[in-house]
Amino acid sequence: MRLGRVYLVGAGPGDPGLLTVRGLELLRRAQVIVFDQLVNPDLLEEASAGAMKIFAGKRAGRHCIAQSEINQVLIDHAALGYEVVRLKGGDPFVFGRGGEEAEALAAAGIPFEVVPGVSSAIAVPAYAGIPLTHREYSSSFAVVTGHESRKLESSVQWDKLAAAVDTLVILMGLRNLQQITTALLSHGLAPGTPVAVISRGTTQEQETVTGSVSDIVDKAAHLDSPAVIVIGRVVGLQQRLNWFESAFESQRDALSYGDEATIYPSPD
């Protein structure tokens, strides 16, 4: 029997328009789609009518299916000759366990292709009006996981990050925001350093809260995951460059104006 192929496809951070052309092409022809919690449901509407859809979501410690089982699902369906799309939020190789899945496929002799996606680490700050680099404010940025901050032996070197990186982007860190800010402050980061927390980025539910390392925990307490944390001077540009949320505010203002216009007819 001819082996199928697995495509590890990045679905982007939420806005379905950020799926790549290659990703959309594969999604439309896939026979099996294995998708994550953070994949926009609208993307699944692009699948063919006969495609099998398998949910393999994981979020905030609640695992619907273990990673080893996901690996086996991919292997088993490809071994039956199916074209399989593994649809993953963001980019498969940026904190998406795509590397682990690729290793499992390679070990099983299953052909695979990696289709990069737009990472939330870049897209979400951009949708909040925060450029990660800027000639006047930032010549470097680092992307780290905030999921390890509770570990006694975390591999994240907060001391080096606090001293050497202009802009710090933290994924999966909302629940550990207190521990993260405490660690950065203890390693010399100035308490007034600007911080933004962006919840549900690139979607219509996006909300951005800004503050400083010393007060952001309280200011962002009401936000929900998924969230991206940005720390650095570039956050100061957010209010001026906040094009996405400002567009929704303009739409709401226009709707309010329209309602008033129905109450107060035109003079003619």
Measured over the CA atoms of residue 153, residue 159, residue 160 and residue 164, the dihedral's sign is positive
Q: What three-state secondary structure class fits 254? A: helix
Cβ atoms within 10 Å of 4's Cβ, excluding its own: 19
Render each residue's pLDDT in the chain as its tens digit; 268 residues: 799 999 999 999 999 999 999 999 999 999 999 999 999 999 999 999 999 999 998 655 555 689 999 999 999 999 999 999 999 999 999 999 999 999 999 999 999 999 999 999 999 999 999 999 999 999 999 999 998 645 545 678 999 999 999 999 999 999 999 999 999 999 999 999 999 999 999 999 999 999 999 999 999 999 999 999 999 999 999 999 999 999 877 776 665 555 443 333 333 3
Question: What's the confidence (pLDDT) of residue 60?
Answer: 52
DSSP 110-137: --EEEE----HHHHHHHHTT--S-BTTT
Catalytic one among 15, 36, 88, 91?
36
Q: What is the pTM of this model?
A: 0.88
Question: What's the confidence (pLDDT) of residue 168?
Answer: 98
Assess if residue 251 is contained within a domain.
no
93 & 166 share domain: no
Domain boundary among 95, 118, 141: 118
Active-site annotation holds for 52: no
Question: What's the confidence (pLDDT) of residue 262?
Answer: 36
Assess if residue 266 is contained within a domain.
no
Q: Could you tell me which of 117, 119, 114 has the C-alpha nearest to residue 6?
A: 114
Query: Where residue 82 sits, what CATH number does that domain have?
Result: 3.40.1010.10
20 & 106 share domain: yes
The whole domain housing 195 covers: 121-244
137 & 171 share domain: yes
Q: How many helices (DSSP H) and strands (DSSP E) are in the chain?
A: 10, 12
Assess if residue 145 is contained within a domain.
yes
For the packed helices 98-108 and 67-79, what is the interaxial angle rounded to 10 degrees? 40
**Phi then psi dihedrals of residue 265, to 5 deg:** -65, 160
Assess if residue 261 is contained within a domain.
no
Catalytic one among 58, 76, 166, 219?
58
Assess if residue 265 is contained within a domain.
no
Active-site annotation holds for 58: yes
76 & 156 share domain: no
Assess if residue 268 is contained within a domain.
no
Number of domains present in the structure of the chain: 2
Please name the amino acid found at residue 68.
S
67 & 131 share domain: no
Catalytic one among 15, 88, 91, 172?
172
**Phi then psi dihedrals of residue 197, to 5 deg:** -120, 125
Active-site annotation holds for 172: yes
